[in-house]
Chain A
């Protein structure tokens, strides 16, 4: 099997060498007519819901660009791989893209740990790595030249904005914060605490729970005992439902509760799972999007997706795949005909645009690699959504 791969690799490399035209010290993955992009995401396994639709959305965006004649005469060709959000597989995929397929850039990743695992390699090889919809905290902060990510926002953004909303809009002074004991929890609780301190509120309870928790009795008892005036949860969907149920069971529904985006991918399903609309009387949730998941601003993307993939109803995260693809095509535009990886990175650094998908601008800078720092919040009572005023931003400094 290995020999067959090697043979194929040689043939492929030889073919590319022939197609590449006259010997010019050009970057790999570029010909006069094509740009080769290695696209990857979890397409199977437990986390496929986070990667499948976003990857298809990115592919769709590239197709749209190709329909308009490509970028400076070059069409985008994508190679697609499944990484299952597994660090060993991501490194494997990225190494294959770069050293065998010789793609121009790698674009992908819906999970953070794999992104960090691949960071050193892409930096060493000087290949731009644009994440898909991964939060990517550890890989973009601190910023390194070749790795761009957080198009939906880092977890640091989630923590900072949710705390700011709790204090400024809900007038919270005593906050209970429930997070997981994983890397997401580390990131979001750090900035949340920093923002609380900055704005003069007290974190009266900080519960770190396992993502696999089955009984949230103990943490919720402690939260209740702390007598908060706002409760924040950055838990994943199953624990978030359990927390909300116990919150109602223990009679805390007069206290507002805010659920971070990762806990409530589809609000209608969340409400059904909680099974008790009285629990939702004071519930808010955060979102990095510029509208409700099926709101009018998101509909244009949903309709476009349906044109491309009529057999698939897009999941909650589909549009998250678009801003990164947009950044790629914009940067390619900016560079112009004489395209190199270094120029591509320089162009990405100058970007600052409204994607039409997420709440805030997509922006990079010399020392900034997390694209998106905004959240909006929505009050949800099980039936209606009410977009709360204000777009909340993390300033990139709190908690650092």
Chain B
């Protein structure tokens, strides 16, 4: 039994970091634009497929496909913001929320991405990107983990730290934070708000692409794998939708809770656990574990 609990925990941590990586990109978009990106999962999917394209068809070395995929998805995200969201925002009337329209636009984006990927018969079958690290599984006591699992956890933490450093320590990062907290004030001090937003979207998409390449070996690729975004939302909520480190903690908690639910209750409880946790957290502590005080926006 102890072995089972340990294994469930270890695997839960790894899966949790999967959710956390996707959640990071959702939180970046939310923090900068207040938009819930319903296409978040599809960007991960595209990132993964671009990785397959790079590795298996263009013959790029593994490290290069991260760059290849991240660069292309950065462009995709930035373009979407520049062309679509700008336009939507531009028609906003002060006093009326344009958020819902932006959210619907992201829904449209998710269908466009799914539909485009499905045009290729290659995607009809479930596919798998070969893992970054292959080799024999590692045994820690009786707990077994793959090398790829360590890569996932390691890179998730690294990305999170890099993003945290970027936002706290660099001028660009601070400018981006300023833009999201108070766009009008940011504009007043000369920050190019529109370009900042575009960069955020690009950055968020690039993070999703990295997530996609890490996760594709673990999760298997179909055009519909974007549904995992719901779990990423759950991870973000647990951690606090405003907090980047919260994503990791939230993700890990979610992954472990899911496995425990499956172990101690029934396997079909695994799929409902995230939703129960969301409702619980939002009822008891809406800002999540790391969300800090709930700041009322000026109305």
Do A and B interact directly, with beta carbons closer than 8 Å?
yes
Q: What residues of chain A have their CB less than 8 Å away from a CB belonging to chain B?
A: 44-46, 48-49, 181, 207-210, 212-215, 217-219, 221-222, 225, 237-238, 241-242, 249-251, 265-266, 269, 272-273, 275, 313, 315-316
Q: Which residue of A lies closest to B4 (CB)?
A: A221
Given contacts A241-B128, A249-B146, A275-B130, contact A222 B263 (CB under 8 A): yes
Most chain-B Cβ atoms within 10 A of its Cβ — which of A225, A273, A313, A316?
A: A273
Per-residue A-contact encoding for B92-132, CB less than 8 Å = 1, 0 else: 00000000000000000000000000100100111110110
A213 CA to B18 CA, complexed, in Å: 13
**Distance A209 CA – B266 CA, assembled complex (angstroms):** 9
**A-B contacts, 20 listed (Cβ < 8 Å):** A49-B125, A181-B267, A207-B267, A208-B266, A209-B267, A215-B15, A217-B15, A217-B262, A218-B267, A218-B270, A221-B263, A222-B263, A238-B219, A238-B220, A249-B137, A265-B125, A266-B125, A273-B127, A275-B130, A275-B134
State in angstroms the CA–CA spacing of A45 and B130 once bound together: 26
- Interface membership of B259, Cβ < 8 A: yes
- Hey, which chain B residues are within 8 Å of A217, CB to CB? 7-8, 11-12, 15, 259, 262
Closest Cβ–Cβ distance, residue B21 to chain A (whole Å): 13
Q: Which one, A44, A46, A214, A275, contacts B128 given CB within 8 A?
A: A275
Contact between A221 and B267 (Cβ–Cβ < 8 Å)? Answer: no
Docked complex Cα distance between A266 and B125 (Å) = 8
- Chain A residues whose CB sits within 8 angstroms of the CB of B261 once the complex forms: 218
A50 CB, min distance to chain B CBs, angstroms: 10
- SS class, residues of chain B in contact with chain A: helix
Q: What residues of chain B lie closer than 8 Å to A251, measured between beta carbons?
A: 144
Inter-chain contact B7/A221, CB cutoff 8 Å: yes
Q: Is B268 an interface residue (CB 8 A)?
A: yes
Shortest distance between the CB of A312 and any CB in chain B (Å): 8
Looking at B43-51, B162-170, B223-231, the stretch in contact with chain A turns out to be B223-231
The complex places the Cα of A217 from the Cα of B227 at a distance, in Å, of 20
- Assess whether B258 is interfacial by the CB under 8 Å rule: yes
Which residues of chain B from 23 to 57 have any CB-CB distance to chain A below 8 Å in the complex? none
Contact partner of B231 among A214, A222, A315, CB < 8 A?
A214
A318 to B220, CA, bound (A): 24
